[in-house]
Chains A and B, each alone.
Chain A
Amino acid sequence: MTHFYTKCFLIEQPDHFMIKIRVSNWQTVCKSTDISLREFGCEQNLLSRPDGSASFIQGDTSVLAGMYGPAEVKVSKEIYDRATLEVLIQPKVGLPSVRERSQEQCVRETCEASLLSFLHPRSSLTLILQVVHNDGSLLSCLLNAACMALMDAGLPMSCLFCGVTCAINSDGQIITDPTVAQEKESRAILTFAIDSTDHKVLMSSTQGSFSVYELQQCIAVCQKASEKIFLFYRDSVQRRYSKTL
């Protein structure tokens, strides 16, 4: 199985995937029935020390996010015209390893794309994510928790973002929001960060092999699913501010 990680929207496909499309005659048609998102829940402002905090739960996967900023930055890390964003992901057991570093990079690039960091030059924004339980679609849960924590901290953003994971199993069926058991049986797992204004892809992180057609289908599926998540963001923030004077 070839593994490759794609980071931008325009994806340069190496030659052999295109050949596959011309020959296969849409053989890998993904049956898009029976797609649903697990139940999700969110709680904001649950920690007293961080400036913004949120806990996001997707089924059994649960992530706690805490946000400090804008705050003082070390001279070695300061950027003269923008805020320095630092993301830390702490796993539940053991010390952070390379996997957490790559997830941190995905989350950091998505946040930097949507935060208006030039409004806080020479400041630091620190986002800490604690994995509370991992039952599949961890990266998308991290992204959602990060966005809710940024909202809770009141940081200026040009758009909101959400993460959606989908998996392609051996029959070619697309499943959104897979559990750990479903992820194990699938041949490809794709996570996309979608922005709220144009529903375009901000970040993508994929694992496994799939065709160009399947990729575009997954993107379309995730864009549809992200609408539900953005509605959820809106509802939770509306509920939260429903009692302010």
Chain B
Amino acid sequence: MKDTPLSNCERDFLLKAIEEKKRLDGRQTYDYRNIKITFGTDYGCCFVDLGKTRVMAQVSCELVAPKETRPNEGILFFNIELSPMASPAFEPGRQSELSVKLNRQLERCFRNSKCIDTESLCVVSGEKVWQIRVDVHTLNHDGNLMDAASIAAITALCHFRRPDVSIQGEEITVYTPEERDPIPLSIYHMPISVSFSFFQQGTYLLVDPCEREERVMDGLLMIAMNKHREICSIQSSGGIMLLKEQVLRCSKIASVKVSEITELISKALENDKKARKAGERCGFAESMPQERITALKMDETPVEMKNVTEKAEDIVKKYEAPPQSVPSPLVPAPGVGQVGQGQQNSWGLEEEDGESEEEEEMVVEDQPKNKLDQGECCK
């Protein structure tokens, strides 16, 4: 499916508006869109809404053998899926350039910055370690997938609980969540990426571009930082040339934004923890907005079962047993199974002497083929 191309007048309009310091949705230059974080029923699942961009992250864990070069460390695996639901331009299966870029950025942002203590994920050195897998699914693409994905990934990692493990000599016991409470991962810091888009060869700068703005931008600068003002990763793409002052200014803006977003994440995690402790049911059924006109909820309903047994008996009595469609197989020769008989030649050829011979030949030839087909079915 192809995405609708951007028309020239749209492009000119956007660029003109940016020159006059106006954005389509009325934001200021350094404003982020509304961020909303919700959690799912099980640990490690979270939804992030960045304006209309919607992303879901799910963390899962598994016991595997560690890498040979690092026998004491657990493994972190990130995967961003650009789902075709997010945009008609995303094709299923094939790894597009954007998908590779986002995956690589996410890996650099989290793995290389060592935000998670991988040594605590080791169970038996050299034999069994935990592999933490983070799957990020993009649900709606309205610009700035990278920021939304990084917020979702770190929130899901903070929310996740892995099963408890105890080692007694040679025996290792992995407890289910019912037996022992699962334990959270040890996370040192929370890197969050902030994206800056540049227009007119670096003259104008916008934070958190929406999809239209992304289409007309010249270049993108992504800075991943944590709230302690440590830069975890920087990436500049699009081939624009930036001055040193511009990059420093962007990093200052990023540190302000990151501290705001980190506070938002901590608050959301706190609220969820309180709700789970209070025993409330956490899940999507509860987080679904009730005041919206497009949403509706119905409680548990019993189903009337009055004449089900009579109806079923009726139907079974009424309809006869189906005809014997699968007769028992014959074995005319060893290695050959035959079910049914070969069909009559239905090509409607005129019966003449010469042709009747051909017919017989054809019929004879048909038989082995039929036998083969039916023999294969018998398998």
Contacts and interface: CB of A to CB of B under 8 A. Distances in A.
B43 to A, nearest CB: 12
A77 B80 CA distance: 27
B285 A92 contact: no
A221 B133 CA distance: 41
Contacts of B241: none
Contact of A49 (B60, B141, B316, B324): B141
Contacts of A8: none
B41 A60 contact: yes
A243 B283 CA distance: 29
Chain B CB count within 10 A is highest, among A10, A13, A217, for: A217
A184 interface: no
A225 interface: yes
Contacts of A40: 297-298
B83 interface: yes
Interface residues of B, number: 57
A222 to B, nearest CB: 9
A44 B294 CA distance: 5
B167 interface: no
Interface in A27-44: 29-30, 32-33, 35-44
A240 B292 CA distance: 9
A221 B308 contact: yes
Contacts of A228: 301, 303
Nearest to B58: A92
B288 interface: yes
Nearest to A225: B303
Interface string B120-134: 000000000000010
B342 to A, nearest CB: 22
A119 interface: no
A13 B316 CA distance: 12
Interface string B281-324: 00111001100111111111111110011011101100001101
Contacts of A68: 1, 84, 88
Nearest to B284: A62
Contacts of B2: 71-72
A49 B142 contact: yes
Contacts, number: 175
Contacts of B304: 224
Contact of A90 (B40, B83, B305, B311): B83
A221 B305 contact: yes
Given A18-B321, A217-B309, A235-B296, A47 B288 contact: no
B45 interface: yes
A216 B316 contact: yes
A68 B297 CA distance: 25
B86 interface: yes
Main secondary structure of the interface of A (DSSP, over half): mixed
Instruction: Tell me whether chain B's interface is mostly helix, strand or loop, or mixed.
Output: loop
A211 to B, nearest CB: 9
Nearest to B314: A216
A32 B306 CA distance: 9
Given A213-B312, A220-B308, A133 B45 contact: yes
Given A36-B303, A47-B85, A47-B139, A220 B312 contact: yes
A91 B142 CA distance: 22
A39 B308 contact: no
B294 A36 contact: no
B151 to A, nearest CB: 18
B52 interface: yes
A212 B324 CA distance: 16
Nearest to B311: A220
Contacts of A49: 85-88, 140-142
B42 interface: yes
B139 A130 contact: yes
Contact of B302 (A36, A43, A72): A36
B316 A21 contact: yes
Interface in A123-158: 124, 126, 128, 130, 132-133, 135
By CB atoms of chain A within 10 A, which of B52, B85, B292, B295 has the most?
A: B85
B296 A93 contact: no
A99 interface: no
Contacts of A221: 303, 305, 308
Given A36-B300, A47-B139, 12 more contacts: A37-B301, A41-B296, A43-B295, A46-B294, A66-B139, A71-B2, A90-B81, A93-B133, A130-B139, A132-B40, A133-B283, A213-B313
4 A-B pairs with least C-beta separation:
A66-B85, A41-B297, A43-B295, A236-B296
15 contacts: A14-B326, A18-B321, A29-B309, A39-B285, A47-B54, A49-B88, A57-B285, A64-B139, A72-B1, A72-B2, A93-B60, A93-B135, A128-B84, A130-B85, A242-B293
